[in-house]
Amino acid sequence: MAGPGAARTGGRATLRVDKWLWQARFFKTRALAADLAESGHLRINGQPTRKPGAGVGEGDVLTFPQGARIRVIRIVGLGQRRGPAPEAQTLYLDLDARQDVPDPLE
């Protein structure tokens, strides 16, 4: 579901990657999400980007560092606002295999 600010690229709805990361609550501010993109540590579908305004849409896979983790997520929705955490979690699918594998040290 595309909300305000969404654009159409190649026949599909897209949103700026910095805005999507902020709406999905990966970053506390949109400026922090933009800084990540500009740093060159963000990949969209395996391709590095330095553009906070790069368009992303449903089905795109984002790879980026967050704290001590490398996040790999697939976008499943664009959202309409920066809502509460449970709403934000419906916007993506976490592809990090580590969450499914028990820690051998525990």
Instruction: Please give the single-letter amino acid code of residue 3.
Output: G
Instruction: Tell me what the mean pLDDT of segment 42-47 comes to.
Output: 96
Structural domain that includes position 15: 7-99
Task: Look up the CATH number of the domain holding residue 14.
Answer: 3.10.290.10
Maximum pairwise Cα distance, the chain: 48
Cα–Cα distance, 46 to 60 (Å, whole number): 10
Instruction: Tell me what the mean pLDDT of segment 14-32 comes to.
Output: 96
Cα–Cα distance, 71 to 64 (Å, whole number): 5
Residue 15 within any structural domain of the chain: yes
Residue 76 within any structural domain of the chain: yes
Residue 27 within any structural domain of the chain: yes
Residue 2 within any structural domain of the chain: no
Q: What is the pLDDT of residues 63-85, one digit of tens each?
A: 999 989 999 999 999 989 999 99
The domain tally of the chain equals 1
Residue 98 pLDDT greater than 70, yes or no: no
